Amino acid sequence: MSLIPLRPLLDHAAANGYGICALNVNNMEQIQSIMEAARATKSPVIIQASRGARKYTNDLFLKHLMLAAAELYPEIPIVMHQDHGNSPETCISAVRMGFTSVMMDGSLEEDAKTPAHYEYNVAVTREVVNIAHRFGVSVEGELGCLGSLESGMGEAEDGHGAEGKLSLDQLLTDPEQAVDFVKRTGIDALAVAIGTSHGAYKFTKKPTGKVLAMEQIEKIHQKIPGCHLVMHGSSSVPTELINDINKYGGKIKETYGVPVEEIQRGIKAGVRKINVDTDNRLAITASIRKSLWDKPEEFDPRYYLTPSRAAMQKICEERMRQFGQAGQAPKIPLVTLEQMAKDYASGKFGENAKPDNAGAPFKGKGAPGHSAMAH
């Protein structure tokens, strides 16, 4: 099956009551791990790349790795997603590079550090929808800033995240504002702020409702039941992986992630896309540390990368089964970008999802073949 847009996959997940883990990649081994897990569980996949990943891998390498995945695993529906685009230029460069879905994170200004005003968020997100939907590419937006309800601080990961102290209304997505945001932007999915954050250090103890506001998701879903919700920073940070890393020379402090049962609760309340990255990084690191500890004289990367690939695959399979996407791959409708563009233009996904000014060219800084890294 070819690369597909995000929207049809999330629509199918909503109709059948499951969620899909969105898995970040930086290299070939991570893509291989995800695709092997998808084949083993017959799962559709969302493979996403941050701006940092695009810079590390290079857009063309990443594009052709994804095309290879689509060719080698033809039975698996694959969404290629830009994670946390900091500007319309970044998102449009992703569209030009073959991504089938983009996230415009207008919760922060273009510096990816400063919390943005609401009207700015609406404006830049709508600009991306206007352009991306013309090409059949799905768009995820974000309302509220990722950060800790324990400390009140923003978080930064991979060069993206709010800096400094945040107010409660910044840390929690307002349900009423979410209604307005979805209506005015025409997005396909909404990332919400509920106290989760990127990286391993999410909570200092097992999270309760005071620091992980799952009720907020339920309130938002009640207001906009037709909008697909997204949970960012939703790795579960398994204790056994932390212990293995530290056993073999690491120094990871005690930390807690988002419990799987809380994510499953979110899926019942409209969450369709769940971002998972840290769990995979921990699995890879634990495996590599063990391999080099057991055989310190070894220097062939294949010696330690092969088991690390299997370790990440194991985590991916677990999440695919836990989130309910296992077994769904053969049931996903094949929708091309060309068909999606027609569907958006016809109003199939609502009048607000129709792109405006369909004939107007994009005049941003991106250009064909250019990386988004300048932005």
Catalytic residues, which ones?
Answer: 83
Question: CA triplet 89, 355, 116: central angle to 5 degrees?
Answer: 45
Separation CA 156–CA 113 (nearest Å): 8
If phi > 0 it is left, if psi is from -120 to 50 it is alpha, else beta; for residue 119 that is alpha
Separation CA 372–CA 117 (nearest Å): 23
Residue ranges of E strands in the chain: 20-24, 45-49, 78-85, 101-104, 138-143, 189-192, 228-231, 271-276
Question: How many C-beta atoms surround the C-beta of residue 111 within 10 A?
Answer: 12
Question: CA triplet 171, 173, 178: central angle to 5 degrees?
Answer: 155
Query: Residue 111: which H helix or E strand, with range?
Result: none
Question: Buried (b) or exposed (e) across 171-181, using 16+ Cβ within 10 A?
Answer: bbbbbebbeeb
Contact present, 316 and 45 (Cβ < 8 Å): no
Separation CA 21–CA 139 (nearest Å): 17
Write the DSSP symbol of residue 82.
E
